Amino acid sequence: MSRNLIILYGIFIGSIPVMGAAIYIFELGDTPTIIIITAYSIFAYSLGGDRLISNLQKRKNKRER
């Protein structure tokens, strides 16, 4: 579980500069790029979150058996 938490934390920390870059690009006025970057960062974060939750559920199921 700790390894997954580290991966999730890494994805979350990694998405912060991406958000910053997206805001910077938005300031320049290139709208399609901010949409792509924001969508990517949300996708990366949700992917990590889903994997963490599914692994926790698998552990819980093993304990119940």
Domain ranges of the chain: 2-64
CB contact at 8 A, 19 and 34: no
Give the pLDDT confidence of 15-42 residue by residue, as tens digits.
666 666 666 655 665 566 666 666 776 7
The whole model's pTM is what?
0.29
What number of helices (H) and strands (E) belong to the chain? Answer: 2, 0
Q: How far apart are CA 65 and CA 56, in angstroms?
A: 15
- Name 56's Cβ contacts closer than 8 Å, sequence gap at least 6: 1
